[in-house]
Amino acid sequence: MKLKHESIEVNAGLLLVLTLVVISIGGLVEIVPLFFINDTVEEVKTADGHDAVRPYTPLEIRGRDIYVREGCYLCHSQMIRPFRDEMLRYGHYSLAAESQYDHPFQWGSKRTGPDLARVGGKYSNEWHVQHLMAPRSVVPESIMPNYPWLMKTALPYADIADRMRALNAVGVPYSETDQEYQANVKRFGVKVAEKLNILDAESNLLKQAEQGDYDGDRRRLTEMDALVAYLQVLGTMVDFKQYQEGHFAEFR
C-alpha cells in the first residue's frame, strides 16, 4: 500500500520518525567515509622531503593580525572551491594543509572582492601598497575603502614572542626549547626552523622587514610592511606543478 504524502503530514509522530530516518541517513553518508581515510590534511612535501606548508613568520603573523583587525575577511575569502570556473580564475583549489596553522582560518564564500588564496607573488609590493592606500588608483571599479593609516602607523611588535607562544599552545609548531627546534629542523629544514624560533622572534621580524622592504620605506617599520608581507606569502608554499592533476583528490 502506498503511503500518501498527506497522511504523513497530518500524522506528527510518523512525520517525526521519517524525518529522523532521513537525517540519520544523511549524517551517515557524511560521517562513515571519514573512518576509511587516514587523514583529511594533505601531505605536501618539498623536493628535499620537508613539509612545504610552514607556520607564518613573526612579520607575517603581525600582518595577518592586521588583516583580521581591518575586517579584510569580510570581503575576501581564502578558499578556492574545486570547481572548474574557480580554478580557471584563481588557480588550484585550496588544500586543507594550506590552512592548518590558521587560527582562525580565512575560508568562506563571501566575495565582495576576489579570493586571495593565491594572491602571493601575483602583484608587486608597490602594487599592494598603492592598492591599500588608494584602491581605485589601480582598480577603478573597486569599492574597497582606503587604508592610508597603515603607511603611517608604526608596527607594534614587542609582544610577538607572546603571540607565538599563544599559537604554539594551540598546536602551531613554533619552538622555544632545543628539542622543539630540532623537531622543526627535521620537519621544515634549517632555514625555516630558524624563523620559527620564539627566542629570536623580534630579530627575525626586523630582518625580514629589512630584506623585504614591503612598504618601500626602509626608514621605518609600519603596519603596511607586515600586511604586505602576509599577502605576499598567501598561496606560495605549495608548488602544484610537481603534482599530477587529481593527486590531492584522495584526501577529499
The CATH number of residue 184's host domain is: 1.10.760.10
Distance between CA atoms of 19 and 94, rounded to whole angstroms? 34
pLDDT of residue 2: 60
Residues 194 and 102 in one domain: yes
29 located within any domain: yes
How many domains, in total, are found in the chain? 2
48 located within any domain: no
76 located within any domain: yes
49 located within any domain: no
Residues 85 and 170 in one domain: yes
Write out pLDDT tens, residues 147-191. Answer: 999 999 999 999 999 999 999 999 999 999 999 999 999 999 999
Query: The pTM is what?
Result: 0.85
51 located within any domain: no
47 located within any domain: no
Residue whose cell numbers read 587560527: 103
pLDDT average, residue stretch 77-94: 92
Task: Give the chain's mean pLDDT.
Answer: 93
120 located within any domain: yes
pLDDT average, residue stretch 217-235: 97
pLDDT of residue 14: 87
Q: How confident is the model at residue 232 (pLDDT cuts 50, 70, 90)?
A: very high
31 lies in which domain range?
A: 5-36
Residues 25 and 62 in one domain: no
